[in-house]
A and B are shown apart, each in its own frame.
Chain A
Amino acid sequence: MAAANFKMNGAEILLECLRREGVKVIFGYPGGQVLPIFDKLYDSDIKLILVRHEQGASHAADGYARAAGKVGVCLATSGPGATNLTTGIANAFMDSIPVVAITGQVKTHLIGNDAFQEADVTGITRPITKHNYLVKNVNELARIVREAFYIASTGRPGPVLIDIPSDVQLKDTEFVWPEKVDIRSYKPTYFGHPGQIKKAAKLISEAKKPLIYAGGGIISSGCHKELRLLAEKINAPVTWTLMGTGGFPAVHHLALGMLGMHGTAYANHAIMNADLIIAIGARFDDRVTGRLDAFAPQAKIIHIDIDPSSISKNVRVDIPIVGDARNILQELLVQIKKIPDTSTWLATVEAWKKKHPLIYREGKMIKPQYVVEQIYEATRGKAIIATEVGQNQMWAAQWYKYTEPRTFISSGGLGTMGFGFPAAMGAKVGCPDKIVFDIAGDGSIQMNIQELATCVCNKINVKVAILNNGYLGMVRQWQELFYKRRYSHVCISSPDFVKLAESFGAVGMLVTKKEEVRPAIDKALEIDNTVFIDFRIEPEENVFPMVPAGEAINQMINGLA
Chain B
Amino acid sequence: MKHTISVLVENKFGVLARIAGLFSARGYNIASLAVSETLDPQISYMTIVVDAEDEKVLEQIKKQLNKLIDVITVTDFTKKEHLERELILVKVEYSAKDKARLEHSLNKFVGKIIQRQADTAIIEAVGDKEQIKELLETLKGFGIKELVRTGRIAIAK
Contacts and interface: CB of A to CB of B under 8 A. Distances in A.
Given A309-B60, A309-B63, A134 B72 contact: no
A126 B22 CA distance: 10
A285 interface: no
Interface in A242-261: none
Interface string B1-30: 000000001100110011001000100000
Nearest to A133: B14
Interface in B62-77: 63-64, 66-72
Contacts of B72: 184-185
Contacts of B18: 126
A183 B68 CA distance: 12
A83 B70 CA distance: 24
B60 A313 contact: yes
A134 B15 CA distance: 12
Contacts of B63: 308-309, 313
Contacts of A303: none
A130 B69 contact: yes
Contacts of A309: 60, 63-64, 66-67
A186 interface: yes
A126 B69 contact: no
Nearest to B64: A309
Given A126-B18, A127-B25, A313-B60, A307 B71 contact: no
Given A308-B63, A309-B60, A309-B63, A123 B69 contact: no
A122 interface: yes
B69 A134 contact: no
Interface in A306-355: 307-309, 312-313
Interface string B105-118: 00000000000000
Question: Chain A CB within 10 Å — which of B14, B64, B69 has the most?
Answer: B69
Contacts of B66: 308-309
A131 interface: yes
A127 B21 contact: yes
A127 B25 CA distance: 9
A309 B21 CA distance: 16
A429 interface: no
B67 A307 contact: yes
Contact of B69 (A122, A127, A131): A131
B116 to A, nearest CB: 42
* Category for how many chain A residues contact B: 10 to 19
Contacts of A183: 69
Contacts of A122: 14
Question: Chain B CB within 10 Å — which of A122, A131, A309, A313 has the most?
Answer: A309
Contacts of B21: 126-127
Interface string A274-312: 000000000000000000000000000000000111001
B25 A186 contact: no
Contacts of B69: 130-131, 151, 183, 185-186
A186 B70 CA distance: 8
A126 B71 contact: no
B64 to A, nearest CB: 6
A123 B17 contact: yes
Contacts of A131: 68-69
A535 B50 CA distance: 55
Nearest to A307: B67
A185 B17 CA distance: 17
A230 B35 CA distance: 49
Contacts of B70: 185
Contacts of B14: 122, 126, 134
A131 B68 CA distance: 8
A537 B63 CA distance: 47
A307 B68 CA distance: 12
Contacts of B67: 307-309
Contacts of A127: 21, 25
B41 to A, nearest CB: 15
Contacts of A123: 17
A183 B17 CA distance: 20
A307 B64 CA distance: 10
Contacts of B71: 185
A217 to B, nearest CB: 16
A144 B68 CA distance: 16
Nearest to A155: B67
A124 to B, nearest CB: 11
Interface string A145-160: 0000001000000000
Nearest to B65: A309
A153 to B, nearest CB: 14
A309 B68 CA distance: 11
Question: Chain A CB within 10 Å — which of B9, B14, B72 has the most?
Answer: B14
Nearest to B72: A185
Interface string B39-81: 0000000000000000000011001101111111000000000
A312 B57 CA distance: 11
Contacts of A151: 69
A218 to B, nearest CB: 21
A313 B66 CA distance: 15
B39 to A, nearest CB: 16
A123 B18 CA distance: 9
B114 to A, nearest CB: 37
B10 A185 contact: yes
Question: Chain B CB within 10 Å — which of A151, A185, A307 has the most?
Answer: A185
Nearest to B8: A185
A385 B9 CA distance: 43
Interface of A: 122-123, 126-127, 130-131, 134, 151, 183-186, 307-309, 312-313
6 contacts: A131-B68, A184-B72, A185-B10, A185-B72, A186-B69, A308-B66
Given A122-B14, A185-B10, 16 more contacts: A126-B14, A126-B18, A127-B25, A131-B69, A134-B13, A134-B14, A184-B72, A185-B69, A185-B70, A185-B71, A185-B72, A186-B69, A308-B63, A309-B60, A309-B64, A309-B67
The list of the 9 closest CB pairs from A to B, nearest first, reads A309-B63, A131-B69, A185-B72, A186-B69, A309-B64, A309-B67, A127-B21, A126-B21, A308-B63
